[in-house]
Amino acid sequence: MKKVLLTGGTGFIGQAVVEILLNKGYEVHLISTKTQKQKQGVINHQINLLDDKALGEFFAKHSFESAIYLAWYVNADYQTNDINLEWIIATLNFIKLFKENGGKKFLAAGSMLEYDLKYGYLNEDLSPLNASSLYASSKTALYKALSAYCKKYDIDFKWARIFNVYGPGEKRQRLMPSVIISCLKGDDVRVSDCLNFQDYLYVSDMAGGIVMLFESPFNGAMNICSNQPVQLRYIVNKIAELTNFKGKILYGSVLTKVNNNVIVGNNQKLLNLGWRAKISLNIGLEKTISYWKDKI
């Protein structure tokens, strides 16, 4: 049986990645900080990735040829928190131990925020990297270090540049869940002007792209995105329509620091692997609304 070591598998995207890996016949070894429920095909390892000693003891007992590294700090202040620097160190420690114990293929998660967003249409080979936050700068620095390290030791290295993702299980503070919850409760919807265009993928399609990249012979950075710009106002209005919302949508009632009118990723490299999105935006919104109906 194929086996893979996975971090971040309890997160929003990670849970969807686990399901796809299991459906493909992988034995998934999941590293997480908390005790997880037993699940067929998943072997849980309770480890704090920021604990160098604990991670070293783990790799002294286990070896893996393949790893997917999705773990990172994801609290509300993730853009500015100094802990981003600790996650750079933790990830570099992980890849070193992984290599020393037989590691041959490594995928890690990057972000669209690594790019200079003023270019709007973001291409892996043409768009410059110019991170504007500590989080994005940390990801960029990590990408460069991992690229050089993996090249030196002949490790297959894949860097999944993740764009916007939505679907069941997303944090309720995010745009779509917050609008859905307000609409379902009949409360006024308070949002920014929502005039910007963004690139969104349904969570299972995002996970499918990550796994397809992982299994491919491709090495380097690849956008995991839809290549379809959608205006945030369309999303808000569509949610209101799908929930039969009759209240007020207060555009501009929430201040935003986002000044980029359009952010969309070129996904030709992903398409070349054979990936195709399976869930349209409207269907994805319907699925997400159905999920939240059972939660509130």
- Domain 2-115+124-163+201-224 -> CATH class: alpha beta
pLDDT tens-digit map of 78-111 = 999 999 999 999 999 999 999 999 999 999 999 9
pLDDT band, very low/low/confident/very high, at 260 (cuts 50, 70, 90): low
Mean pLDDT of 226-246: 98
Under the phi-then-psi rule, with left for phi > 0, alpha for psi from -120 to 50, and beta for the rest, what region is 25? Answer: left
pLDDT at 115: 98
The dihedral through the CA atoms of 202, 160, 93, 129 has a sign that is negative
Residue 251 DSSP code: E
CATH 3.40.50.1580 matches 165-199+227-294: no
pLDDT at 34: 84
Q: How many CB atoms lie within 10 A of CB 51?
A: 14
Question: Domains of the chain: which residue ranges?
Answer: 2-115+124-163+201-224, 165-199+227-294
Q: What's the first-to-final CA gap in the chain, in angstroms? A: 41
Mean pLDDT of 110-139: 97
Mean pLDDT of 200-225: 99
pLDDT tens-digit map of 11-44 = 999 999 999 999 999 999 999 998 888 899 999 9
Mean pLDDT of 51-78: 97
pLDDT tens-digit map of 141-163 = 999 999 999 999 999 999 999 99
Beta strand ranges found along the chain (DSSP E):
3-7, 27-32, 42-46, 66-69, 105-111, 121-122, 156-162, 164-166, 189-191, 197-202, 220-224, 229-231, 249-251, 264-265
Beta strand ranges found along 119-263 (DSSP E):
121-122, 156-162, 164-166, 189-191, 197-202, 220-224, 229-231, 249-251
% of the chain exceeding 90 in pLDDT: 95
Q: Is the pLDDT of residue 258 over 70?
A: no
Q: Is the pLDDT of residue 165 over 90?
A: yes
